[in-house]
Amino acid sequence: MNIVNKTIGPDSFCARQLPLRQLEKPCENSVHLWHLDFDQLSNPLNPDNSSASKELSVFQQRATRRFYLRLLLGAYLGLPGKDVRIIRRIKGRPELDLAQSKGELDFSVARSQGRYLIGISSGATIGVDLEIAARRARNPLALARRYFSQGEVTALASLAQEELQRAFVHTWACKEAIVKANGLGIANQLCRFSVDVNPDSPPSVLDMQDDDHEAWTLAIAEPAAGAIAAVA
C-alpha cells in the first residue's frame, strides 16, 4: 500500500500462498502490509494441527510468529528464513542486521487476538499497530487522561460514548505505530505528541514535542473486517 492519508480497505489486500520467494521490495514512499490470521494458518510446530492458534503455549505462539516473520523477511532478502538475523535496539525495537539488509529494508510487527501484522518498508523507518475494532476499553477517557496529550483528551471528552470508544481505539493505534517507529517505547512517550482523534478524518500528526510533526505520515488500513491497522 502507498502511504496515503486514507483508509485502505480489505479489498486492497490479496491472499498469498506459501512458499514465498524473491519478493520485490516496496517502492519509495510505499509499504507492504502482511496480515496473518493464525486461525487460517498451519502450525509449523505441529503440521498435523490445522490451526496455528489452537492449543499453543505462549512460547509456541511466539515461535510461530517468529517463524512466519523470518520466512517473510527472507523472501525479501533472498535468504532462507532460518538465516535471517534480527537484532534489538536498547529499547527493544527489532530490526534487521545491517550486514544483511544494508539499510534497505525496515520492518515492524504487531499482534492482536490471533492476528499478526507485519509492515515492510524500503529503508524508511516504519511502525505498525493492530487493533480489533470491537475492543472496548472499560474507561477510555481515564486511559486517555493517563497516557494521551491534553489536546487529545479534550477532543475525546467531547464525544458520546460510542463515538468515544471508536475514536479511542483509532487514536491508540496511531500513537502506538508512531512510538514503534521511533523506537523509544510507550513509557512517557504517548503524551509527547498529538494525533487527530477523529477516525473519519485523514489520519495525521498534529504536533510533536521532540520532532517535526510534519515529517511524519500516518495511514490506516483495514486488512480484514473488524481489524484496524495503523502505519507510521
Are 170 and 132 a contacting pair, CB within 8 Å?
no
Q: Residues 32, 119: one domain?
A: yes
What is the largest distance, in Å, between two alpha-carbon atoms of the chain?
Answer: 52
Q: Residues 126, 138: one domain?
A: no
Q: Residues 48, 85: one domain?
A: yes
User: Does some domain include residue 231?
Assistant: no
Q: Residues 76, 171: one domain?
A: no
pTM to 2 decimal places: 0.87
The pLDDT tens digits for 206-218 are 999 989 999 999 9
Per the structure block, which three cell numbers stand in for 219? 495511514
- CA 179 to chain CA mean position, Å: 11
Higher pLDDT among residues 42 and 84, named by residue = 84
User: Does some domain include residue 224?
Assistant: no
Report the CATH number at residue 46. 3.90.470
| Residue of 130, 136, 121 lying closest to 224 (CA atoms) | 130
User: Does some domain include residue 1?
Assistant: no
The pLDDT tens digits for 15-57 are 776 767 789 999 888 899 999 888 776 666 665 555 555 566 7
Q: Residues 88, 166: one domain?
A: no
- Measured CA angle at 107 (ends 9, 97), to 5 deg: 165
The range of the structural domain enclosing residue 111 comes to 7-130
Q: What is the mean pLDDT of the chain?
A: 86
User: Does some domain include residue 73?
Assistant: yes
How many domains, the chain?
A: 2
Q: Residues 30, 114: one domain?
A: yes
DSSP 196: -
The pLDDT tens digits for 149-165 are 999 999 999 999 889 99
User: Does some domain include residue 70?
Assistant: yes
Q: Residues 107, 169: one domain?
A: no
Q: Residues 53, 105: one domain?
A: yes
Point out the domain boundary residue: 108, 130, 152.
130
CA 150 – CA 131 distance, rounded (Å): 23
**H helix intervals, the chain:** 58-77, 98-101, 140-147, 150-157, 161-182
